[in-house]
Amino acid sequence: MDGKTTLTSIKPYRRVPEGSQPPSLYEPYHSTTKRAPLKPLILLPHTLSEITGPIYGHEKMGEKDNDLTAQHEGEPLGERIIVSGRVLDSNGRPVPNALIEIWQANSAGRYRHAKDQHPAPLDPNFTGAGRTLTDQNGAYRFITIKPGAYPWFNHYNAWRPAHIHFSVFGNAFISRLVTQMYFPGDSLFPYDPIFQSIPDENARERLISKFDLETTQPQWAKGFVFDIVVRGPEATPFET
Amino acid sequence: MDLVPTSSQTVGPFFHIELTTDEHCVRCIAGPNAKGERAWITFRVLDADGAPVDDAMLEIWQADAQGKYNHPDDPHFGTSDEDWIGFGRLATGEDGSCVLETIKPGCIRHNSIQAPHLTVAVFARGMLKQLYTRVYFAGDVTNEEDPILSLVPADRRDTLMAKPDSVRPRYWRFDVRLQGEQETVFFDV
């Protein structure tokens, strides 16, 4: 790297390990073939533009935003669940005040979205969207219902495993993460090209939430734990 | 402790129900009293065939007219424009486009001088992870000295330039071409 670009590098963020992120082009997921760049990406030394980022959404939090079962007059149909976990950075430090947004299908596998044509019923008591902020320990908690699996058009008889979409802000614009949380034991994993697009098996497995008896509430709702890691800065030589 | 960042998965086709509701979109990132030259940027996202991508989401991160980011890790934090937002989030429409209202950013002065630019993250169905690009302003004299543009092969730099709209003053156009001959430069961040 020449001197000029080194000068723009300040408190750089840690790069992600090989194989832990999906490639842009993954042919079994057909929609990637026309939406993935084929020319080489340009390696960007981190500047202020990369290591700063938005503090967004904090003023727009509603009381029921983290309880997707309480946003309508009645209760939604389906299996009530509690999804909780922590947001940490790659140095293991909790990320407080991080905005987490989620969206999902209802228990029948249908999204409340004009473009979802799956012939499964909508639930008048379920929108399927929520948001929350992590607390000082990076912890978050949602109450929702378990989403259903649903068919899609990627290939013949294609079904998505049940999942909840997660969108998370870390400290920097390059720590931004959008992912999907899955449920343990789903028989659709081997057939799902979106899940399978992640080369590293351990990384893939970390997208599967864990059933958790501790956070399960007796006579009320099962608990699932999903911890999230966003990119953090490189440690300085003085830190251990 | 060493932790591997969580793997990305596509935002999918249904993100609008949370991420880009009317309430959660941010189409204007400069408050009414933000200082600087107001600018409107029409983004258009296109696939390998040049077809509009009507289900993309763009997120924008930008410094104010003085080149200051509204963030504690900017050494100028606390002195940025009080009416500056700096973060935008937009969904593309049927024609693959969306319009951001902003002000033209200043040069980023920190160890080096970067030309005025916006950072853009692109999300869509069919994209397993977001792509990062930058929007510079065609014709800005400081582009010549920008340390990041100098890393980009000369024949591809033009893909990072917003072009002034020939009809409407203060309007700019920026195409995000995900693939193809005129593929936009994306960065490995």
Write down the domain spans for chain A.
3-230
Q: How far is CA B84 from CA A93, A227, B33, in A?
A: 29, 33, 8
Catalytic residue chosen out of the listed positions A26, A29, A111, A140: A111
Catalytic residue chosen out of the listed positions A46, A110, A131, A163: A163
The answer to whether B25 touches B85, Cβ cutoff 8 Å, is: no
Q: How far is CA A198 from CA A56, A79, A202, B89, B187, in A?
A: 29, 29, 9, 27, 20
Note whether A177 contacts B8, CB cutoff 8 Å: yes
Checking if the pLDDT of B83 tops 80, the result is yes
Active-site residue, A58 included: no
Note whether A178 contacts B2, CB cutoff 8 Å: no
B68-93: b or e for each residue (b if 16 or more CB lie within 10 Å)?
bbbbeebebeeebbeebbbbbbbbbe
- Chain A, 133-162: which have a CB under 8 Å from a chain B CB? none
Q: Give which of B111, B78, B24 is closest to A46, Cα–Cα.
A: B111
Between B147 and A57, the higher pLDDT residue: B147
Return the residue of B nearest to A31 by Cα: B126
Note whether B127 contacts A32, CB cutoff 8 Å: yes
Model ipTM over 0.90: yes
**B91 φ, ψ to 5°?**
-105, 140
Measure CB to CB from residue B8 to each of A56, A89, A179 and give the nearest one.
A179
Lowest mean pLDDT segment, chosen from A158-167, B76-85, B86-95:
B76-85
Checking if the pLDDT of B24 tops 90, the result is yes
pLDDT at A239: 47
Write down the domain spans for chain B.
15-177
Note whether B127 contacts A50, CB cutoff 8 Å: no
**Cβ partners under 8 Å of residue A127, min gap 6:** A68, A71, A72, A112, B17
**Cβ partners under 8 Å of residue A3, min gap 6:** none
Please report, in tens digits, the pLDDT of each residue of chain A (240 residues total).
444 444 444 789 999 999 999 999 999 999 999 999 999 999 999 999 999 999 888 877 888 999 999 999 999 999 999 999 999 999 999 999 999 999 999 999 999 999 999 999 999 999 999 999 999 999 999 999 999 999 999 999 999 999 999 999 999 999 999 999 999 999 999 999 999 999 999 999 999 999 999 999 999 999 999 999 999 999 765 544
Checking if the pLDDT of B154 tops 60, the result is yes
Residue A119: CB atoms within 10 Å: 7
pLDDT at A236: 65
Q: pTM value?
A: 0.96
Q: Is A71 on the interface with B (CB under 8 A)?
A: no
CATH of the structural domain A3-230, one choice from 1.10.357.10, 1.10.10.60, 2.60.130.10, 3.40.50.2300 = 2.60.130.10
Tens digits of residue pLDDT in B34-69: 999 999 999 999 999 999 999 999 999 999 999 999
Residue A33 DSSP SS3? helix
Q: Give which of A204, A178, A208, A194 is closest to A85, Cα–Cα.
A: A208
pLDDT at A237: 55
| Mutate which: A25, A35, A65, vs B, most B CBs within 10 A | A35
Q: If you count residue pairs, one on A and one on B, with CB atoms under 8 Å apart, how many are there?
A: 249
Q: Give which of A210, A205, A203 is closest to A226, Cα–Cα.
A: A210
Span B85-99, mean pLDDT? Answer: 98
Question: Which DSSP category does A5 fall into?
Answer: H
Please report which confidence band the pLDDT of residue B26 belongs to, taking 50, 70 and 90 as the band edges: very high
**How many Cα atoms are found within 13 Å in the side-chain-facing hemisphere of A12?**
14
Note whether A113 contacts B19, CB cutoff 8 Å: no
**Which CATH architecture is the domain B15-177 placed in?**
Sandwich (2.60)
Active-site residue, A150 included: yes
| Residues of chain B found within 8 Å of residue A204, distances taken between Cβ atoms | 7
